Amino acid sequence: MNILILGSGGREHALAWAVKQNPKCDRLIAAPGNAGMADVAECAALDIMDGAAVVEFAAAQSVDFVIIGPEAPLAAGVADALRGAGILCFGPSAAAAQLEASKAFTKEICDACGAPTAGYAHFTDAAEARAYVEAQGAPIVIKADGLAAGKGVVVAMTLDEALAAVDDMLGGAYGDAGAEVVIEEFMEGEEASFFILSDGANILPVGTAQDHKRAYDGDEGPNTGGMGAYSPAPVMSDAVTERALREIVQPTVDEMARRGTPYQGVLYAGFMIKDGAPRLVEYNVRFGDPECQVLMMRLGAQALDLLLACAQGRLDRAQVNWADDHALTVVMAAKGYPGSYEKGSEITGLDAVAEDSAHMVFHAGTKMQGDHLVANGGRVLNVTARGASLAEARERAYAMIDGVDWADGFYRSDIGWRAL
Ligand code: AMP
Ligand code: GLY
């Protein structure tokens, strides 16, 4: 099979690494890809937001299967364009991608199917939103309705913070994404992420993970896209998992099908778990980044079979072969991230870091400059290891980091602390 992966981050490198190991994969193309993906795939320049351009490219290259990594092309309808042209593709339609693209839509789906989630109201008018916040009191959570690159959520511990967030969002700080705000009850508990494939009717869980959103050790500092992750998430016990599937995930998939917009792809569900009861925090319509890196490390080559079964509507006959293992990834980011940072600093030492089925450095934001590997983004490397225990995976990952020489980078030294 000829396979095309859309995206250029650590998530897509991990997908490419797993897919390439499967004997079904003859030719692998990544668009646009990055310096790390170039080791396992041909990288091609392509505007992945342009459905017609992606279809034309896939047809010209005789691509049999397209895997869409990030949410933006999904929300823009690239999966619809591919399916419309008869090209097999992994990822939801634009209509189904509303589960990530609109928080108000997700709340409406939860209401319709009875899935437990935080109580909420939504507003486009600032005066009404402020009055609601004042009536509810703090802590309270203010969310921009649309896609805001992970920045549209304020967990306000005080009334002043909450009111400022309302004014900010409805005042245009997030552009169109914040033209409507969802205001939610603050939920207490422990968070976990759950990844479930859906072919529109059948579901298949493919792993749990926990990430670390804050930039610095001890969960201090600004929010980021994620500074590290591990899988499995201990809080997702069998009982919690069973309940989450029965009360939240399957009802969501059924409701999407009932509406004529079946969900096909991976559902990334964020849960808040308290006293064994999961409630939905949010859905994303793609794999998490860096959560995907630990999931792929554990699944390996079978990931391609699972994604294919999902795209072909035969998940009822698919199964995951689980090993009793753990994986952990540490993100190396450019100093200054998530604020402003420099691009172009050199990274050395990677050639000497051994890579195998238990050790991989996934590239999130790198490029080649002549013969030199340089940083080309905020999150730059995902140093990932697998082990028989979480402690072993963590030890391996940090030992690999010791071999990386990058003066302009930083990382958290406590990934996995909550579970260890
Ligand atoms: P989201 O982008 O929706 O995942 O929100 C970012 C983070 O805000 C989540 O990972 C939670 O830590 C937190 N959060 C979102 N909604 C709530 C809520 N209703 N109660 C408590 N924390 C929340
Ligand atoms: N790591 C969080 C995300 O991918 O949204």
pLDDT score for 176: 80
Residue pointed to by tokens 């600093």: 345
Give the ligand at the shortest distance from the Cα of 228. 2
Q: Is residue 403 within a helix (H) or strand (E), and if so which, with residue range?
A: none
pLDDT, greater one: 186 or 145:
186
142, 155, 186, 283: which to mutate for ligand 1, most atoms within 8 A of CB? 155
Residue 109 has pLDDT above 80, yes or no: yes
Task: Write down the pTM of the prediction.
Answer: 0.95
**Mean predicted confidence (pLDDT) in 16-20:** 98
Question: Which residue, 296, 242, 309, 303, is CA-closest to 273?
Answer: 242
The winner for highest mean pLDDT among 115-129, 172-186, 380-394 is: 380-394
Residue 75 has pLDDT above 70, yes or no: yes
Quickly list DSSP for 286-324.
S--TTHHHHHHHHHTTHHHHHHHHHHTT-GGG------S
Q: What's the mean pLDDT when you consider all of the chain?
A: 95
Query: pLDDT digits over 191-223, tens only?
Result: 999 999 999 999 999 999 999 999 999 999 988
Taking only Cα atoms into account, the Rg of the chain, rounded to an integer number of angstroms, comes to: 21
Residue 150 has pLDDT above 70, yes or no: no
pLDDT score for 98: 96
pLDDT score for 223: 87
Give the range among 55-64, 106-115, 148-157, 404-413 with minimum mean pLDDT: 148-157
Residue 178 has pLDDT above 80, yes or no: no
Distance (Å, rounded) from C-alpha 296 to C-alpha 283? 20
Report strand pairing: 326-334 vs 409-410.
Answer: antiparallel
Give the ligand at the shortest distance from the Cα of 283. 1
CA of 359 to the centre of ligand 1 (A): 31
**Mean predicted confidence (pLDDT) in 40-50:** 97
pLDDT score for 20: 98
Query: pLDDT digits over 329-340, tens only?
Result: 999 999 999 999
pLDDT score for 171: 86
**Mean predicted confidence (pLDDT) in 299-328:** 97
What ligand 2 atom has the least distance to the C-alpha of 288? 4
pLDDT score for 326: 98
Query: pLDDT digits over 348-357, tens only?
Result: 999 999 899 9
pLDDT band for 285, please (50, 70, 90 cuts): very high
Report strand pairing: 153-156 vs 203-211.
Answer: unpaired
Residue 149 has pLDDT above 90, yes or no: no
- Pocket-forming residues, ligand 2, beta carbon under 6 Å: 150, 211, 225-226, 284, 288-289, 291
CA of 158 to the centre of ligand 2 (A): 26
Residues 6 or more apart whose Cβ sits within 8 Å of residue 168? 174, 178
What ligand 2 atom has the least distance to the C-alpha of 292? 4
pLDDT band for 151, please (50, 70, 90 cuts): confident
User: Are the C-beta atoms of 68 and 40 separated by less than 8 Å?
Assistant: no
